Structure 1
Amino acid sequence: MAVKARPDTTALQQLKKQLKENALGNLYVFHGEEAYLRDHYLGQMKKRLLPAGMEDFNYHVINEKEFDLKKLAQFIDCLPMMSQRTMVVVNDHDLFKGDKEGLTALLKELPEYVCLVFVYDLIAYKADARTKLAGVLKEKGCVVAFNRQEQGDLVDWIARRFKALDHDIGTEEAKYLIFKCGDLMHTLISEISKVGAYASHRRVTRQDIDAVATPQLDAVVFDMTDAIAAGNFDKAASVLGDLYHMQERPINLLAILGKQLRQLYTARLALEQKKGSRYLVELWKMRSAYPAERLMQSARRFSLGWCRRAVIRCAQVDLAMKSTGADGEELLTGLLMELAVKKGA
């Protein structure tokens, strides 16, 4: 089974090198899920290119609603004022729609003083390699993908962020924070701030994280199945009640629970076949081994037969929700009770 390929970071490394050497180019395209990294590097570019206090004269932003080639050309033609460079940022304009020929001609003749950055935030970047525009971007530009970071890099970054708040965090606790809150840096930064403000000791603990961090929905459902595994139906029911109180739709909760149970089933099968957590990482295309390790630990507390029946019952309840018009909360609560009662079977 093939391991998921690591994202290509060549363009990002090139950007880092250009910033370090103060040798930024004229044309960039920024895209990808990791908005925190994207905004960080935009800020670094702005600092490198524009003297402090002169941003109003040399920094120009165009949003998609106000975009047209004439306005872009006007900003590009604006000469720097008390600066060597100008910076133009275009937000959420799809380069490969609209007047591609006009845009291609404009990008071919960018002045040396301008740094033009197309930022994809609310829309996805989809290049059309058949166009002349794609050729110009390849020749004169740098297309930088800000992808989700690998777990090791995230753990190091989390440690640095907590250190800046006069706290330390261990590797396992950092992995737990990622598991609990997700692996996007722009989400984690606010969670780190909350945990750092709450923690009363220098060393951050799981209890600190659980006390104030806002968990992602998948992690909450995992806690619910963990409670079932521990024979604690009251806790499992309490978690489900909290999700109802948050107005999460039963059909959405069932979808996440169904995925969780399928993963649990494959973890139990892996144990039966003497396979390790790496098998789950590859099978489910997980970004790190930590969720797989948690699944393997949980699977040890369930029988293979229970896991198989749980997956089947989840599919049956899903069909009932979609076809019978029965109350979704009642169906999901009933499923939870059934899973808890037959946990040991």
Structure 2
Amino acid sequence: MAKKAESGGYARLKGDLAQKTPGSFYVLYGEEDYLRRYYLSMLRRQLVDGPTEDFNFHRLTSENFSMQVLSESLEALPMMAERTMIQVDDVDLFALPEDDRTQLAALFSDIPDYACLVLVYADFKPDKRKKKLWDAMEKNAVLAEFAYQTERDLTAWIVRHFRAEKKNISPALCGYLLQRCGSSMTRLDAEIAKICAYSGADDIVRADIDAVVEPTLEAVVFEITDALGQREFDRALERLSVMLKLRAEPIAMLGAVGSHMRRLHAARILQAAGKTSQDLAPLCGVAPFAANKCFAQARRLSDRFCAQAVLLCCEADRQMKTSYDDPARILELLILQLAEEARHD
């Protein structure tokens, strides 16, 4: 799907909800689950909210889905309401037998006016080789992707959420919060609530964030690599101690380090090819703002270091899986090896 079509579907959904005129067929998908759930709940409120909701809302999953159940749900007339809503969660329709796909294509082309069919996916990978079904879906559905938001969009969203709690936060502190939490709006929403409950002042300060927000594993790994790139080796070891205190398995910590090193290596390759962070984000499956920071970080490191770092992470992974050594010690040795590589870079 072209990005233009995806953003167009998202805008179409927002427009339909703003005008309170939901359509008949939507596909909601993408990695930003907070937005996906938010707009799904708005659809449900506009379509079937009220005392007869239980009669007019039909939810299908992989456990209860069948063509018969879907057909009956679409044909069920609304009870004391104008519309019905049929929500289908994470069912791979393209994997159905050919006869079912043919029936689905016909259903997609003739959804009753009183019904609204909503297909919901965290990871939507349509098999476009099943042309009849894909053509019917593409022609009749509003395909709304909920992708990771840009740093600018997230900053504005964070400011609005604090303002709703009668709190003020600066754009710089928004950036710091993003660095600590990552780009997940679900986590950010929970952390904002914690900060507001903790702070008794109108203006949020950095100490409020540090007091209640535990950094993500990825955030600490980024800080370690950033310290290595700036030759601040003591700081890298200090952040390692922070990482070891997080409630995560050593193999997950090592995985986070390895993933970040591979992203840096990929960034160096893209930079040599004249590409930008916009190319890194979809390649590595990270948010745009995280790709920007990774791209900037990679510029301070050499190709040799990034390539060697990946090899060292692979060797540490092998040791952690095959040896009886202390996993924490393996991690510590890895960071020391990376520091030594950076020192001679």
Q: TM-score range by the shorter chain?
A: 0.7 to 0.9
Q: What is residue 232 of structure 1 aligned with on the other side?
A: 234
Q: 1:11: Cα distance to partner?
A: 0.6
Distance 1:73 1:141 in 2: 17
Distance 1:170 1:11 in 2: 32
Mean CA deviation greater in 133-142 or 151-160: 133-142
Q: What is residue 10 of structure 2 aligned with on the other side?
A: 12
2:308 equivalent to 1:312: yes
Q: Which amino acid aligns with 1:207?
A: A
Mean CA deviation greater in 40-49 or 328-337: 328-337
Mean CA deviation greater in 314-323 or 185-194: 314-323
- Listed as ranges, the matches of 1:151-170 within 5 Å are 151-170=151-170
Distance 1:332 1:95 in 2: 43
Query: Tell me, what secondary structure is at the counterpart of 1:65?
Result: coil
TM-score of the superposed pair, with normalisation by structure 1: 0.80
Q: What is residue 333 of structure 1 aligned with on the other side?
A: 332
- Listed as ranges, the matches of 1:247-266 within 5 Å are 247-249=249-251, 251-256=254-259, 258-259=261-262, 262=265
Q: What is residue 212 of structure 2 aligned with on the other side?
A: 212
Q: Are the counterparts in 1 of residues 262 and 310 from structure 2 also a CA contact under 8 Å? A: no
Q: What is residue 112 of structure 2 aligned with on the other side?
A: 111
Larger gyration radius, structure 1 or structure 2 = 1
Q: Which amino acid aligns with 1:281?
A: S
Distance 2:186 2:292 in 1: 24
Q: What is residue 69 of structure 1 aligned with on the other side?
A: 67
Q: Are the counterparts in 2 of residues 31 and 119 from structure 1 also a CA contact under 8 Å? A: yes
Distance 1:210 1:261, change over 3 A: farther
Count of residues in correspondence between the two structures: 327
Q: Which amino acid aligns with 1:337?
A: L
Q: Are the counterparts in 1 of residues 85 and 115 from structure 2 also a CA contact under 8 Å? A: yes
TM-score of the superposed pair, with normalisation by structure 2: 0.80
Query: Tell me, what secondary structure is at the counterpart of 2:23?
Result: coil
Distance 1:239 1:55, change over 3 A: same
Distance 1:110 1:203, change over 3 A: same
Distance 1:263 1:201 in 2: 43
Distance 2:290 2:147 in 1: 19
Mean CA deviation greater in 220-229 or 53-62: 220-229
Describe the superposition over 1:87-119 as per-residue Cα deviations: whole angstroms up to 9, x where unpaired: 111111112121201212223332111111111
2:241 equivalent to 1:242: no
- Listed as ranges, the matches of 1:33-48 within 5 Å are 33-48=31-46
Describe the superposition over 1:198-241 as per-residue Cα deviations: whole angstroms up to 9, x where unpaired: 22322222332222223222211122345554453562442243
Mean CA deviation greater in 233-242 or 189-198: 233-242
Q: Which runs of 5+ in 2 are unaligned?
A: none
- Aligned-residue Cα RMSD (Å) equals 3.5
Q: What is residue 55 of structure 2 aligned with on the other side?
A: 57
Q: Which runs of 5+ in 1 are unaligned?
A: none
Distance 1:95 1:218 in 2: 34
Distance 1:124 1:68 in 2: 19
Distance 2:210 2:121 in 1: 34
